[in-house]
């Protein structure tokens, strides 16, 4: 590892500790990521974006800390927040491991514990971000209302305003979203990661699994499971089996995964193009 003086100096300002080496980290598509080696021998992870949207890193740090509240009760691990400012976030470094069956089972049980830790309502105290997109979180009394008004309607509007999604496809999705009360069983709000795709699950050393980059809020727990299934995850069957044993899911949960995938598909349509919007409409058709 070499040492980038500007990056190292910024980290030293925030950490109050000497940075002896830095190295770029590949994989992110929003922020620039760097591994730091501190004079104490500890490693850290710095992500930076300038200019960042308002409260971008502060919201991520708050989400990580909120999820970490469940760790003492067996919830899934998150990296420790070492420092945060308007332009960057510094986290404890997670040493890479392998996606073993043992790690998958532990992750499933830990995710179940995080969900069971609960939330005070459907939503969150503050709006956030999913990717670069704003994520409205103002609470609503039921999951069905929150899903339709905070997770579907805002992104349908973006797609229609930009003429990315046809009026017919938007109407299909909107109609399916309105059917949530008859599709999704009522449950208390779970403590969700909110953006739990494969890239945000780190398989660490010693069969330890750590989740990163949350868009956390109180919601229906099947949402996180649907996100895991949408883009694939190593050892996914083991994760799901362990989860269901620890915190049994309502009958028919596998048939509802597609329904919960409407939101991330719309987000991807906003970020990456209309093919995801058309896919969301095809999924929505199954629930009409």
Backbone angles phi, psi at 256, to 5 degrees: -95, -5
Cα Rg of the chain, angstroms: 19
* Residue that the structure tokens 């719309």 belong to: 266
Closest CA to 66 of 118, 30, 104: 118
Residue 283, SS3 per DSSP: helix
Confidence of residue 1 (pLDDT cuts 50, 70, 90): low
Confidence of residue 228 (pLDDT cuts 50, 70, 90): very high
**Domains of the chain (ranges, CATH numbers):** 5-92 (3.30.200.20), 101-285 (3.90.1200.10)
pLDDT at 5 over 90: no
Confidence of residue 26 (pLDDT cuts 50, 70, 90): confident
**Furthest-apart CA atoms within the chain: distance in Å:** 59
Specify whether the CB–CB gap between 139 and 121 falls below 8 A: yes
- pLDDT score for 3: 81
E strand or H helix at 31: none
Helix crossing, 167-178 with 153-161: angle to 10°? Answer: 180
Beta bridge partners of 38: 19
Residues 6+ apart with CB under 8 A from 134: 53, 127, 128, 154
- Show the CA angle centred on residue 181, arms to residues 288 and 176, nearest 5°: 25
Specify whether the CB–CB gap between 47 and 89 falls below 8 A: yes
Specify whether the CB–CB gap between 195 and 129 falls below 8 A: no
Tally the C-alpha atoms within 13 A of residue 117's C-alpha that lie toward its C-beta.
21
What would the pLDDT profile of 30-88 be if each residue is shown by its tens digit? 899 999 999 999 999 999 998 999 999 999 999 999 999 999 999 999 999 999 999 99
Closest CA to 246 of 229, 225, 227, 215: 225
Confidence of residue 202 (pLDDT cuts 50, 70, 90): very high
What would the pLDDT profile of 126-151 be if each residue is shown by its tens digit? 999 999 999 999 999 999 999 999 99
- pLDDT score for 114: 98
Residue 212, SS3 per DSSP: coil
251 is catalytic: no
Strands (E), the chain: 19-25, 32-38, 43-48, 81-85, 88-92, 128-130, 133-135, 190-192, 201-203, 209-211, 217-219
Q: Cα–Cα distance between 212 and 64 in angstroms, integer? A: 7
CA 165, 168, 169, 174 dihedral sign is positive
pTM of the entire structure?
0.96
Cβ–Cβ contacts within 10 Å for residue 121, how many? 18
Q: What is the arithmetic mean of pLDDT over 206-234?
A: 97
The residue from 92, 161, 195, 224 that is catalytic is 195
């Amino acid at each position: 590892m070499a040492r980038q003086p500007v990056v190292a100096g910024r980290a030293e300002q925030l950490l109050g500790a000497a940075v002896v080496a830095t190295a770029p980290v590949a994989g992110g598509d929003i922020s620039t990521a760097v591994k730091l080696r501190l004079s104490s021998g500890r490693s850290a992870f710095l992500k930076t974006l300038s200019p960042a949207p308002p409260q971008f890193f502060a919201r991520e740090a708050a989400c990580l800390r909120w999820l970490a509240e469940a760790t003492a009760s067996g919830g899934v691990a998150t990296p420790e927040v070492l420092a945060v400012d308007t332009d960057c976030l510094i986290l404890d470094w997670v040493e890479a491991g392998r996606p073993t069956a043992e790690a998958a089972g532990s992750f499933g049980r830990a995710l179940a514990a995080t969900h069971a830790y609960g939330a005070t309502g459907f939503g969150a105290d503050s709006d956030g971000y999913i990717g670069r997109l704003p994520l409205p979180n103002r609470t609503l009394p039921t999951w069905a209302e929150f899903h339709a008004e905070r997770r579907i309607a805002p992104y349908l509007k973006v797609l229609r305003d930009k003429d990315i999604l046809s009026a017919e496809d938007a109407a299909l999705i909107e109609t399916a979203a309105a059917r949530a009360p008859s599709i999704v069983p009522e449950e208390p709000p779970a403590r969700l990661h909110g953006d739990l795709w494969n890239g945000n699950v780190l398989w660490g050393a010693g069969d330890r699994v750590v989740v990163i980059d949350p868009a956390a809020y109180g919601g229906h727990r099947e949402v996180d499971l649907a996100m895991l299934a949408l883009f694939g995850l190593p050892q996914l069957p083991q994760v799901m089996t362990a989860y269901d044993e620890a915190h049994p899911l309502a009958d028919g949960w596998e048939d509802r995964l597609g329904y919960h995938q409407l939101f991330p598909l719309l987000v991807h349509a906003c970020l990456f193009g209309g093919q995801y919007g058309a896919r969301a409409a095809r999924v929505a058709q199954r629930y009409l």
